[in-house]
Chains A and B, each alone.
Chain A
């Protein structure tokens, strides 16, 4: 895509100062999202995918902080904005959807009050216009009888319906970027399918770019244009979604794909990656994956690989070093 990227994350580092030293949860992460593009970010618990999303949205919980790098939205740096400035961007320029729809809604206000508040905060409209817009939004997310439902409280909605309200809320001010953190994880499969197709439809209609954070490869496969795979705080592979899924290049991605049970093939055993994701206090030297990697060699434990071209994707793995690592060996 030759368009200027909407979101640019460069060398992002997120750290947590503790008494026993600084823990680095996300390290040297770079990626960009084009207008209207859906970037999937996958990884297992503790890979740093949600933290990356929170950092972009400016909601990193202290003591967590951005240690280095920058986040640019439409060419403007947003990672160092004062709180009040960032508040204006949140909701207006960047929308967010979180995993649990119940905790993202205020239980003491009707969904209408919450929608109207969001709309009048960000757009210059009267409250009557805002209410009409809120009803339209609810209708567009497929909530039946929106003119009646708008005056209901969050607890009166089911899980799937609540997530629809959250989506309506996130898209209320027509943001250019939507950060969706595990938007379907708390939902049943039949509801999950409804929510995914709703997200896809609305984002296509509005031309909204999406950063979709999830651990579910199936959701990524159906939704994303490109996908970034994270492991131990770093992006280990990034590329077009079909390539990453069908021709993974990084040994971790290969293992991850093999470990997912699928209907497509019969397997007596699933591929398994032995060991577990390292703790933040003990990230291995060199490539963080090398102790679990079956193809690791001497260089992997010494030098940390950056993203290297691998097929149509990029993978942070010395196996893809064109020089073959001979210079170092």
Chain B
């Protein structure tokens, strides 16, 4: 592989931060039509679900980009598209300048090692019949990175140490661990191939808050120690606020706002982002005047025309109902934000 990533030091010396992931117009449609017979007999139409519909973003080396949104907004589908678990319907993902489709070729193996995923449910993502050492050594064997048994054992010990577990734990089975410990095992497994980029799909959602704090701290420590890059998927805005460098807010398969963390949380632009930030119960009980949010996420099979948020938006006008807004960069007092909103473009929203 000629175009493998340059060492970080070399890059820093040149004063550049490389974009390691670039998604362009990424889309994934699912055919959820009724069976052929029902379509014929009952004259039911075909149904195409636009789970992800034209999403573009870049992730730079060493940063954490978070995607947040409510159920069904397509954030997990983006995660799966990035690691190649789904093939995109349209658009492409570039990883270190290579198209993701190359990854399934023999030459793409090296690329694949640089990319790993951590899943939400640590109970479902570990094989209950395998010992911890087999689980963690699996990527090493699958990628043919190590053949020597002693070498593998040493690497497993090192990985367990990195996620703050004891080497003696490698004899155990997953059921002997608590939820937080299992999530650490998933992280150890993901780190086995020395990846540079980790896709984390709701890694702490199934955990209690004190355990969540342990896992979030570990993830931040590992990022610092190894220069990891994260795509972090979550519905929890407080967690996203804690871990991210940049945040993308998704609604019905599209990114509606994308901005650096502090900008997004201090000066949200898109009405949906404002609504989400307003809706979170927070410990500070500042007695914020809550804007009661009406309505629910519409059926993605039959999304509203124009801006998909318009039926719930307090700033809606005729243009919103007919024309799809595009993600554009806006500079404002709080920083620079990319937002997809006609009201923001026309300056109809009070800052």
Contact = CB atoms under 8 A, between A and B. Distances in A.
Interface of A: 44-45, 158, 160-161, 188-194, 196-197, 215-219, 221-223, 242, 245, 255-264, 267-274, 276-277
A259 B209 contact: yes
B209 A192 contact: no
Nearest to B180: A276
Contacts of A221: 281-285
Contacts of A219: 281
7 contacts: A188-B71, A218-B282, A242-B285, A261-B242, A263-B284, A272-B217, A276-B180
B143 to A, nearest CB: 32
B297 A188 contact: yes
B209 A44 contact: yes
B196 to A, nearest CB: 22
A261 B208 contact: no
Interface in B225-260: 235-239, 241-242
Nearest to B71: A188
Contact of A189 (B180, B241, B276): B276
B147 to A, nearest CB: 36
Nearest to B285: A221
Contacts of A160: 296
Given A192-B279, A193-B293, A196-B281, A260 B214 contact: no
Nearest to B272: A190
A19 to B, nearest CB: 19
Contacts of A257: 283
Given A190-B293, A276-B211, A270 B276 contact: no
A269 B220 contact: yes
Of the candidates B278, B285, B297, the one having the most CB atoms from chain A within 10 angstroms of its own CB is: B285
Could you say which interface size class chain B belongs to?
35 or more
Contact of A215 (B70, B208, B235, B292): B208
Contacts of B275: 190
B280 interface: yes
A129 B275 CA distance: 39
Given A197-B290, A270-B242, A259 B210 contact: yes
B178 A276 contact: yes
A261 B281 contact: no
Contacts of A263: 237-238, 241, 265, 280, 282, 284
A74 to B, nearest CB: 31
A259 B279 contact: no
Contacts of A188: 70-71, 235, 297
B316 interface: no
B70 A259 contact: no
Interface string B160-189: 000000000000000000111100000000
A262 B279 contact: no
Given A242-B285, A245-B283, 14 more contacts: A44-B209, A44-B211, A188-B70, A192-B281, A197-B290, A218-B281, A256-B210, A258-B213, A262-B282, A270-B213, A271-B213, A272-B210, A272-B214, A273-B214
Nearest to B239: A261
Of the candidates A44, A193, A257, A262, the one having the most CB atoms from chain B within 10 angstroms of its own CB is: A193
A313 B293 CA distance: 35
B212 interface: yes
B216 interface: yes
A267 B285 contact: no
Given A160-B296, A256-B209, A276-B178, A193 B290 contact: yes
Contacts of B180: 276
Nearest to B242: A261
B276 A262 contact: no
A272 B297 contact: no
A268 B220 contact: yes
Nearest to A196: B281
B209 A215 contact: yes
Nearest to B221: A269
A255 B242 CA distance: 17
Interface string B295-312: 011000000000000000
A194 B281 CA distance: 11
A272 B208 CA distance: 12
Contacts of A222: 281-282, 285
A57 B70 CA distance: 33
Contacts of A261: 213, 216, 236, 238-239, 241-242
